[in-house]
Structure 1
Amino acid sequence: MSRFIIRYILFLVAGVMLPIAVSAQKDVRKNIRKGNKEYRQEKFSDAVKFYENAVEENAASKEANFNLGNALYRQKEWDQAIEKYNHYTSLEQEKPEEASAAWHNIGNAMLQKKELQGSMEAYKMALRLNPQDDEARYNLAVVQKMIQDEEEQGGGEQDQQEDQQEQQQEQQQQEQQPQQNDQNQEKRAEQPDQPEQMSRDNARQLLQAIEQDERETQEKVQQIKAKEREEQAENNRRNNKNW
């Protein structure tokens, strides 16, 4: 008799919990839809709130975490965006191309922070997971060039290079935005779009700016050396004249 009662109680518990779980999932979807709507209207702070509500309801929601990272990125909250993208990569273990999208966005966010080494490693990870990501490969080449130039210049020239990079990155921020994981909800549940790509035009402009800066630096160095030679020659003439 008692055995039957135990089974009956367990059945009732399961029956009560199921509607609660379904209701919670509906709340998650509702918050994500609202967040997507606010995001499309560029109301990113409001979008963050809805995505955060979705994450609170279900911390394992891939879509909510990815979109929250995008909304934080648009608010220039680089560290928080990176945290959410990282969490997404820990959740997405079945679809490497989608995990690659998050790593791509991590690379973009780290580039905004001027963390070139971290950005480079993130782009490499994106390519390991999705070798077909040509934009990540292009971005990786740009970052590697920036790192190489920093190492070659060093010192005060590095500061000048950072100023130049900052100007270029401010220009990029208007166009370099993470792709929204809109999905039309019912059609593509929990499947992120492609990551934000640094446009080839922006990357090309960045390389051209770096090369122009290098040329100007070399010209300044040559001018300084020429002036030093002139001063030395003048000193030699004076010494010879005095002698």
Structure 2
Amino acid sequence: MKKLLIVTSVLLFSFASFAQKAERENIRKGNKEYRQQKYSTAEQRYKSAIKVNPNSKEAIYNLANTSYKQGRWDEALKGYEKYVSLEKQNPKNLGKAFHNMGNVYLRKHPSKDEKENYVEKAIDAYKQSLRINPDDDETRYNLAVAQKLRQDQGKGGGNNKNKDKNKDQKKDKDKNKQDQNKDKNQNQDKKDQQKQNQQDKQEQMSQSNAEQLLKAIEQDEKQTQDKIKQMKAAERKQKNDENRRNNKDW
């Protein structure tokens, strides 16, 4: 009986080691494909890692990134949300996940579903990120962009929900006015059409503003990443120079 228990334990340990190795190998290959901008093949690698370990935080987070790069916002958001629910040990990466969630929400703005205020959700996500990483300039910049969008929404014709409510009330009143003449109805229809056209133009302007601001975000993030790479290269060069000097002194 003891021998059977020992054999079973060895088999379980061997299986766990094999699974862990397969998970790490898929993540490693996925990361390589991601760096080469082969997002589709990287996605398959991360999915393979998740099959082995459904709670692989690194694979879940990186899979969300590949979805983001391919413009699949809902999938990306779902991945980031799952990662946030699992991450308990690495606050820095948790802050990055909230940052990326904010970017997704801005990408989904404006929404045809007026129940979803993605600008507000983006602001909340960026604030969450800054609570964790208060020195992150990129997140602070993106938060300012989202707040600017919210401000523009306020200027662009007021609250859409209140507009719809007022329209519904107006329709109810119109139903009760049985003796309203046709000319007034026609004039009212023209006014309603003009208001609708104006609202459509405002939504188009909001969409254009959002796209311009998002392009500014991406450009700012790229410049920041370039600066980080330059700083790291300078640090490596300095260390190499110091090592060479030390070797000469020896």
TM range, smaller chain: 0.5 to 0.7
**Which residue matches 1:158?**
202
**Which residue matches 1:106?**
101
User: Any gaps of 5 or more consecutive residues in structure 1?
Assistant: 177-195, 201-243
**Which residue matches 2:119?**
116
Displacement after TM superposition at 1:136 (Å): 1.1
Tell me, what secondary structure is at the counterpart of 2:12? helix
1:25-50 Cα distance to aligned partner (Å, 9 max, x none): 11111111221122122111111111
User: How large is the RMSD of aligned CA atoms in angstroms?
Assistant: 2.3
Displacement after TM superposition at 1:53 (Å): 0.6
Give the structure-1-normalised TM-score. 0.66
- Structure 1 residue 12 and structure 2 residue 15: aligned? no
- Matched ranges for 1:193-208 at <5 A: 197=221
Please tell me the residue identity of whatever aligns with 1:12.
V
Displacement after TM superposition at 1:116 (Å): 0.9
Give the structure-2-normalised TM-score. 0.64
Displacement after TM superposition at 1:88 (Å): 1.2
**Aligned CA distance change for structure 1 residues 197 and 106 (closer, same or farther; 3 Å):** farther
Identity of aligned residues (%): 43
Displacement after TM superposition at 1:74 (Å): 0.5
- Give me the whole-angstrom Cα distance separating, in 2, the residues matched to 1:9 and 1:137: 59
1:70-91 Cα distance to aligned partner (Å, 9 max, x none): 1111000111111111111122
Contact 2:60 2:83 in 1 (8 A): yes
**Which residue matches 1:25?**
20
Contact 2:145 2:213 in 1 (8 A): no
User: Any gaps of 5 or more consecutive residues in structure 2?
Assistant: 110-117, 159-198, 225-250
Please tell me the residue identity of whatever aligns with 1:80.
E
Please tell me the residue identity of whatever aligns with 1:116.
V
1:103-135 Cα distance to aligned partner (Å, 9 max, x none): 101111111111211111110110112222222
Please tell me the residue identity of whatever aligns with 2:42.
A
Contact 2:47 2:63 in 1 (8 A): yes
- Matched ranges for 1:201-240 at <5 A: none
Please tell me the residue identity of whatever aligns with 1:57.
V
**Which residue matches 2:152?**
149
Displacement after TM superposition at 1:95 (Å): 2.1
Tell me, what secondary structure is at the counterpart of 1:59? coil
Please tell me the residue identity of whatever aligns with 2:65.
N
- Give me the whole-angstrom Cα distance separating, in 1, the residues matched to 2:212 and 2:121: 19
One of 71, 78, 102 as aligned partner of 1:76: 71
Contact 1:103 1:122 in 2 (8 A): yes
Query: How many aligned residue pairs are there?
Result: 175
Tell me, what secondary structure is at the counterpart of 2:54? coil
- Give me the whole-angstrom Cα distance separating, in 2, the residues matched to 1:100 and 1:128: 8
Q: Which structure dedicates a bigger proportion of its chain to helix?
A: 2
